[in-house]
Amino acid sequence: MAQLTGMEQEQEDIKQHRSDDRVVKIVLFGAGKRGVKLLHYLLSMDNTEIVAICDRSDDSALRAAAVCTEAGKKKPSVYSGDRQSVAEILDREKPDAVIIATYWDSHAGIALEAMRRNIYPGIDVPAALRTDDLWQLVETSENTGTPCMMLENWSFRKDNLAVLNMKRLGMFGKIVHCHCAHSHNCIDHWFFDSESGEARWQAEYLLKYNRMQYPTHALGPVISWMDINRGDAFSEIYTIASAPLGINEYFRDRFGEHHPEAGRKYRQGDIVTSVLSTKKGKTLVINNDLQLRRPYANRWMLQGTRGVYDEEKGSVYLADFSPEYQKWEPWQPYEEKYNHRWWQTDFPSPSFRGADYIMLRQFTEAVRRKGPVPLDVYDSAVMSATIELSGISAEKKKSVPFPDFTRGKWQTNQEYFAV
């Protein structure tokens, strides 16, 4: 039988999905802002049922349940507070998958309980904060045969998937170096309340740690561009951090010298820079930049022996394709020409450039087929491991080894994300 092209495969997939009426039953853990946003996408999909909502807050859980009924769906069971354990909920509801949008420290524990029952976990970022927990996720997924996916939406962006298509066509030559960043002023809305200055739960990490607090949005697309876990692997990470000046200055300007946060000592440096090397000699620079007043940027850059892509410039140069020697070209025509098949179909919302919807659709279809997920447990572990490892490196002021979660399988693993 002849191999299907990308577009033919997409059409075949759509035909199969339409004829497949199996319902994917999902339990949502975490009904805060992020959980409810993911809930809206799930409710827009055919043959997907939210069977239960779980949150510490009674009000949050009930509001999320109301979102389901307002969308014309069946009212889910509601679990709130600590009255029932994760294990009890899963044993009672028997879902096909869980979506985990709770506090960071709880992600791994819920995912482990799910996999022990052959339930697919879809974990909002990060998958876990500690390397030991990441190893548990890897080993449990391997031992149970249950796929585990961290929901890194930026891997599914239209521009990033087009770059991946071009990389696989060899248009950049051999990949040498990448840069990425998460540059986003989160002080006035994410770590602290913008009106009162009251600390949110995420602010605790700024007091306790100095590290890459939130690297996965930056790193998600890059691991595929660099063949990490499939042809290459990170070997070590070296991290340095700037002084922590931005938080105190923000509070002095916004609330005055006498506000408690204006003089509090934070461990977290304003800009953290990690340099990673790979087994095959590639290099990567990541910036964590969440505390200074600035516009949002990811600053993705991919450089190979025959070309370079620069997301921040919105430009590309390709030695074999660009009309002028060593002159930048606009990126947009390439994004359209090399558009990935996942983006050649309609989706209901432009939020996050549609990445959330496409990510969840691919995850739920994997659950329905009982097949592999788009980003597997090894990808999830690699992206999340940079959090703890960067902190260890910054404290020791030296590079530290990067664990090989595949245990050598990166040497024979084939590309599969978005193929």
Tell me, yes or no, whether 353 lies in a domain. Answer: no
> Do 332 and 223 have their domain in common?
yes
Answer yes or no: is pLDDT of 3 > 60. no
Q: Which residues contact 56 (CB under 8 A, 6 or more apart)?
A: 80, 81, 82
The domain boundary, picked from 94, 123, 153, lies at 153
Rounded Cα–Cα distance for residues 361 and 348 (Å): 12
Token output for 365: 């279809």
Mean pLDDT of 111-134: 98
pLDDT tens-digit map of 93-108: 999 999 999 999 999 9
> Do 245 and 167 have their domain in common?
yes
Tell me, yes or no, whether 75 lies in a domain. Answer: yes
> Do 305 and 189 have their domain in common?
yes
- Where in the sequence is the domain holding 334, given as residue range(s)? 154-342+376-411
pLDDT tens-digit map of 46-77: 999 999 999 999 999 999 999 999 999 999 99
Of 363, 352, 211, 359, the residue nearest 290 (C-alpha): 211
3-class secondary structure for the chain? CCCCCHHHHHHHHHHHHHHCCCCEEEEEECCCHHHHHHHHHHHCCCCEEEEEEEECCHHHHHHHHHHHHHCCCCCCEEEECCCCCHHHHHHHHCCCEEEECCCHHHHHHHHHHHHCCCCEEEECCCCCCCHHHHHHHHHHHHHHCCCCEECCHHHHCHHHHHHHHHHHCCCCCCEEEEEEEEECCCHHHHHECCCCCCECCCHHHHHHCCCCCCCHHHHHHHHHHCCECCCECEEEEEEEECCCCHHHHHHHHHHCCCCHHHCCCCCCCCEEEEEEEECCCCEEEEEEECCCCCCCECCCEEEECCEEEECCCCEEEECCCCCCCCCCEECHHHHHHCCCHHHCCCCCCCHHHHHHHHHHHHHHHHHHHCCCCCCCHHHHHHHHHHHHHHHHHHHHCCCEECCCCCCCHHHCCCCCCCC
Tell me, yes or no, whether 215 lies in a domain. Answer: yes
Tell me, yes or no, whether 416 lies in a domain. Answer: no
> Do 162 and 29 have their domain in common?
no
> Do 196 and 220 have their domain in common?
yes
Which CATH number fits the domain that encloses residue 134? 3.40.50.720
Rounded Cα–Cα distance for residues 354 and 182 (Å): 19
Answer yes or no: is pLDDT of 416 > 80. yes
Cα 389 to chain centroid distance, Å, stands at 18
Tell me, yes or no, whether 315 lies in a domain. Answer: yes
Mean pLDDT of 37-45: 96
Mean pLDDT of 112-125: 98
pLDDT tens-digit map of 316-373: 999 999 999 999 999 999 999 999 999 986 555 544 458 999 999 999 999 999 999 9
pLDDT tens-digit map of 8-40: 554 455 444 444 679 999 999 999 999 999 999
What was the pLDDT predicted at 148?
Answer: 98
What was the pLDDT predicted at 19?
Answer: 42
Which residues are bridge partners to 307 per DSSP?
304, 318
Which CATH number fits the domain that encloses residue 318? 3.30.360.10
Tell me, yes or no, whether 71 lies in a domain. Answer: yes
> Do 35 and 116 have their domain in common?
yes
Mean pLDDT of 197-206: 95
Tell me, yes or no, whether 73 lies in a domain. Answer: yes
Mean pLDDT of 219-240: 98
> Do 143 and 178 have their domain in common?
no
Tell me, yes or no, whether 329 lies in a domain. Answer: yes
Task: Report the 10 Å Cβ neighbour count for 397.
Answer: 9
Q: Do the bridges between strand 301-304 and strand 307-310 make them parallel or antiparallel, or are there none, so unpaired?
A: antiparallel
Question: How many separate domains does the chain show?
Answer: 2
Rounded Cα–Cα distance for residues 216 and 292 (Å): 19
Q: Which residues contact 125 (CB under 8 A, 6 or more apart)?
A: 150, 151, 152, 214, 216, 217, 383, 384
Mean pLDDT of 287-291: 97
What was the pLDDT predicted at 347?
Answer: 59
The model's confidence at residue 7, banded by pLDDT at 50, 70 and 90, is very low
> Do 107 and 246 have their domain in common?
no
The domain boundary, picked from 153, 168, 192, lies at 153
What was the pLDDT predicted at 350?
Answer: 46
> Do 214 and 319 have their domain in common?
yes
What was the pLDDT predicted at 82?
Answer: 85
**Do the Cβ atoms of 347 and 41 come closer than 8 Å?**
no
What was the pLDDT predicted at 354?
Answer: 86
Name the CA dihedral angle for 195, 198, 201, 203, rounded to a multiple of 10 degrees: 100
What was the pLDDT predicted at 18?
Answer: 46
The domain boundary, picked from 105, 130, 153, lies at 153
> Do 219 and 285 have their domain in common?
yes
Of 134, 50, 132, the residue nearest 99 (C-alpha): 50
> Do 230 and 333 have their domain in common?
yes
> Do 237 and 130 have their domain in common?
no
